[in-house]
Structure 1
Amino acid sequence: MEFDISWLLLGLPLAFFLGWAASRFDLRQWRLENRQAPKAYFKGLNFLLNEQQDQAIDAFIEAVQNDPDTSELHFALGNLFRRRGEYERAVRVHEHLLSRADLSRTDRERAQHALALDFLKAGLLDRAEAALQKLEGTPFENQARLALLAIYERSRDWPQAAAIAQRMDQAGQGRFNTRQAHYLCEDALSLAAKQAVPQALELLAQARGIAPDAPRAYIEAARLLAQQGQHDQACDMLAQLADVAPSHLALAAQPWAASAQAQNRVAETLQRLEASYQEHPSLDVLEALVSLSQAQGASEATARERYVQHLEREPSLVAAARWIAGEKLAHEQFHPQVQRALDHAAKPLTRYRCAACGFEAKQYFWQCPGCQSWDSYPAKRVEEL
């Protein structure tokens, strides 16, 4: 059978036409998909700007389905899940990103950081710790260290917290000597609770060496020394506190007065507290002065005149209530009711208030229980602020 070349001549145009038609179809499909992906993306962005997070998530899911290789859409979707508290879904999105072999190093580090935040927000501290440790040596290193520091503080792992703080200090991320002193104080309190007082005092000495101007180590050491009956050394420790941190002497004024009376150092301590009161008037220092004046031989009425002198200096419902408590009223039969009302009104004024979040407490905290800030409580009662 002879080959007819006319069929070849007819087939070439047909093949060209079919190829051209196929390419046009692929191009149209590609353009359609590209139109759909940005459309879904911008629709999600619009919902997000209007704070319609449910609709935004649906739109971003649609965009991811249309273009599964776009990492930015995954990041947007994962962050939305985290903001909504859907931490499990956020974790799945970021773990899917990390499983991709074609992910760039920059995006991989970013996904690792996002995954660590997912675990942190979900309260999975052990998994968050492991994820944050993988960020060492990346652009997210500083943020990871801060988050690790918060984790160790929250779990009261003070040695780990001290190690991270030291690394941050060496890296120039700030000065953490005062915070490291707090960690040593926390460890010292744990040892003291186990009756290991000498070791606790040694840690407090280290804390004073790290942060000589931080008041806590002096106050804690004086308290432990007084509990051991070493009132002379306790007085010396608080005398150092008066030199390095006079504004915080109010926190230890009454214990100092008690140790001074036990060690017959009343006159010396009275003079030091009087000087402190003139510079930093305080209700706690005032109470210590009243007790020391009585110990020195002053009558109760004379000692209590200090309350009146304080009222002349600044108005104080607490001082007024303390003064009236020892006075004879014209209608003495009503004194208990009046005193009870005054004490009830003055009680909230004797609290301490965090300057960072406003959390109030009866006792003084070095770390706020509300916002976890360190040294955020002024050494003054609410009435004195």
Structure 2
Amino acid sequence: MPDLLLLALLLAAVAIGWWLGRRDRKQRSPARQQPALSRDYFVGLNYLLNEQTDQAIETFVAALEVNSDTIETHVALGNLFRSRGEADRAVKVHQNLLARPTLSVTQSHTVQLELSRDFLHLGLLDRAERLLQTLIREASSDSTRHSAKKLLVDLYERERDWQSALDVAQPTLIRQHDDIRRAAAHWLCELAQQNMQSASPSLARKRLRQALSIDDRCVRANWLLAKLEHDTGQYKAEIRYLKRIPEQDNDFTPIILEPLRDAYHLLEDISGLELSLRQVIERGAFTTAIILLAETLQRREGNKAAEDFIRDQLSRTPSLRGIDYLLGLYRYDIDGLERERIELLKRHTRELIEATPRYRCSRCGFSGSHLHWQCPRCRSWGMTKPVTGIEGE
């Protein structure tokens, strides 16, 4: 489809350029016979008819004269090359345009913006950075300056230069774009983690509170604040931060459950753990919460109580992990051939669980066994969440 769009654009541009040139010559010397379309035009048509797309594109590019009427066409042509994955050809088109002395200031800035996109696509980040910094300083158009800032933020993010990304994005981009606001909170979390690794907890806390002031739905900020409290032995404070996460986004509830259990155990508050787990299950039948509560019942009341509880939950919300846990309970009450059969079933359920992704990006569908705060595929922040359903939570 991009090839067809490109060829249509070129055909139209060449034909319009020829017509404008013909009209101009006619006005200047009406008695002179007008030349026909250039030979390159017909050569390009021949390539097109023979389905030789690349040759047709090259020929039409050669036939398309650069002038004030075709600059936008050349810009679009370079962009189409980039969208086809041919950013090196896009660079040639855009650099050729910049070499033209007839470009207006606005046109020059537009071409520089597209050239910086080409460089980003090719991974030439230093060249893209210099172009974008120049545009931010010199662009006469607010929209061009705005676009340059967005690209520069993207560049700094690729380089993991979180502070530079924040400096460029604040305050305008953060205020105007939800994705950048969400990303900025995560950049602060990245900086906070660096502070935690360098034993600067107070600075880490400051950054995490700043992250929440930018995006009050930033789950990761409360997650890291809970970790800070855990590391200093403040388990009650850790529990408070963990309990804020389901209020921000209930889909992230599964990530708090094991730390929540550990904190209550360290406080020797098993009744508090049981109450918290029951509250979680009321908000959503998360398998991890069900299993943790079953384990609590098993220790206090024995296998039968845990079995009855799990069976009741499975009748409401079936889950593979719940069945696997129930099979594990059944092993305690049987032996011989029946035990071997249960072991075989449990081995199969365990293999299925291990082969099933635990987290999935809600934006692009990328899945895996680890939580990525930034999706490795689409690079969106905070969109990878625990998988729910029969094979998940």
Same fold (TM over 0.5): yes
Show the counterpart of 2:338: 331
Structure 1 residues not aligned, in runs of 5+ = 1-22
**Given the superposition, is the C-alpha separation of residues 194 and 118 from structure 1 closer, same or farther in structure 2, using an over 3 Å criterion?**
same
Q: Residues of 1 paired with 2:166 and 2:45: CA distance?
A: 44
Task: Work out whether residues 257 and 291 of structure 1, in 8 Å CA contact, stay in contact via their aligned partners in 2.
Answer: no
Q: Residues of 1 paired with 2:46 and 2:229: CA distance?
A: 63
Q: What are the superposed Cα offsets for residues 167-194 of structure 1, whole Å, 9 maximum, x if unpaired?
A: 4346634474433221111111122233
Q: Percent identity over the alignment?
A: 27
Q: Residues of 2 paired with 1:374 and 1:44: CA distance?
A: 47
Q: What are the superposed Cα offsets for residues 223-274 of structure 1, whole Å, 9 maximum, x if unpaired?
A: 2322333322212222333444444222111111110110123322321221
Q: What are the superposed Cα offsets for residues 56-81 of structure 1, whole Å, 9 maximum, x if unpaired?
A: 1222213338x799534543553454
Matches of residues 188-199 of structure 1 in structure 2 within 5 Å?
188-199=192-203
Larger Rg computed on CA atoms: 1
Task: Work out whether residues 47 and 55 of structure 2, in 8 Å CA contact, stay in contact via their aligned partners in 1.
Answer: no
More displaced 10-residue stretch of structure 1: 151-160 or 84-93: 84-93
Q: 1:220 aligns with which of 224, 238, 243?
A: 224
Task: Work out whether residues 78 and 94 of structure 1, in 8 Å CA contact, stay in contact via their aligned partners in 2.
Answer: yes
Show the counterpart of 1:254: 258
Matched, 1:124 2:124: yes
Q: Residues of 1 paired with 2:148 and 2:319: CA distance?
A: 47
Show the counterpart of 2:184: 180
Secondary structure at the counterpart of residue 378 of structure 1? strand
Show the counterpart of 1:57: 58
1:191 partner letter: N
**Given the superposition, is the C-alpha separation of residues 248 and 75 from structure 1 closer, same or farther in structure 2, using an over 3 Å criterion?**
closer
1:335 partner letter: I
Q: What are the superposed Cα offsets for residues 307-328 of structure 1, whole Å, 9 maximum, x if unpaired?
A: 2222111111211011101213
Task: Work out whether residues 352 and 377 of structure 1, in 8 Å CA contact, stay in contact via their aligned partners in 2.
Answer: yes
Show the counterpart of 2:38: 36
Task: Work out whether residues 192 and 203 of structure 2, in 8 Å CA contact, stay in contact via their aligned partners in 1.
Answer: yes
More displaced 10-residue stretch of structure 1: 319-328 or 139-148: 139-148
Show the counterpart of 2:359: 352
* 1:363 CA drift (Å): 1.5
Task: Work out whether residues 318 and 350 of structure 1, in 8 Å CA contact, stay in contact via their aligned partners in 2.
Answer: no
Matches of residues 102-121 of structure 1 in structure 2 within 5 Å?
102-121=102-121
Secondary structure at the counterpart of residue 356 of structure 1? coil
Q: Residues of 2 paired with 1:365 and 1:194: CA distance?
A: 22
Show the counterpart of 2:317: 314
**Given the superposition, is the C-alpha separation of residues 74 and 214 from structure 1 closer, same or farther in structure 2, using an over 3 Å criterion?**
closer
Aligned residues: 356
Q: Residues of 2 paired with 1:56 and 1:246: CA distance?
A: 52
TM-score (norm. length: structure 2): 0.78
Task: Work out whether residues 44 and 57 of structure 1, in 8 Å CA contact, stay in contact via their aligned partners in 2.
Answer: no
* 1:343 CA drift (Å): 0.6
**Given the superposition, is the C-alpha separation of residues 123 and 135 from structure 1 closer, same or farther in structure 2, using an over 3 Å criterion?**
same
Matches of residues 10-21 of structure 1 in structure 2 within 5 Å?
none
Q: Residues of 1 paired with 2:161 and 2:347: CA distance?
A: 44
Secondary structure at the counterpart of residue 306 of structure 1? helix
**Given the superposition, is the C-alpha separation of residues 362 and 293 from structure 1 closer, same or farther in structure 2, using an over 3 Å criterion?**
same
TM-score (norm. length: structure 1): 0.80
Secondary structure at the counterpart of residue 35 of structure 1? coil
* 1:332 CA drift (Å): 1.1
Matched, 1:165 2:166: no
**Given the superposition, is the C-alpha separation of residues 304 and 370 from structure 1 closer, same or farther in structure 2, using an over 3 Å criterion?**
farther
* 1:362 CA drift (Å): 0.6
1:345 partner letter: L
Q: Residues of 2 paired with 1:240 and 1:298: CA distance?
A: 31
Structure 2 residues not aligned, in runs of 5+ = 1-27
Q: Residues of 1 paired with 2:42 and 2:378: CA distance?
A: 37
Matches of residues 195-274 of structure 1 in structure 2 within 5 Å?
195-274=199-278
Matched, 1:361 2:368: yes
Task: Work out whether residues 320 and 392 of structure 2, in 8 Å CA contact, stay in contact via their aligned partners in 1.
Answer: no
Task: Work out whether residues 182 and 207 of structure 1, in 8 Å CA contact, stay in contact via their aligned partners in 2.
Answer: yes
More displaced 10-residue stretch of structure 1: 120-129 or 54-63: 54-63
Task: Work out whether residues 149 and 164 of structure 1, in 8 Å CA contact, stay in contact via their aligned partners in 2.
Answer: yes
Task: Work out whether residues 212 and 221 of structure 2, in 8 Å CA contact, stay in contact via their aligned partners in 1.
Answer: yes
Q: Residues of 2 paired with 1:317 and 1:26: CA distance?
A: 86
**Given the superposition, is the C-alpha separation of residues 184 and 298 from structure 1 closer, same or farther in structure 2, using an over 3 Å criterion?**
farther
Task: Work out whether residues 40 and 60 of structure 1, in 8 Å CA contact, stay in contact via their aligned partners in 2.
Answer: no
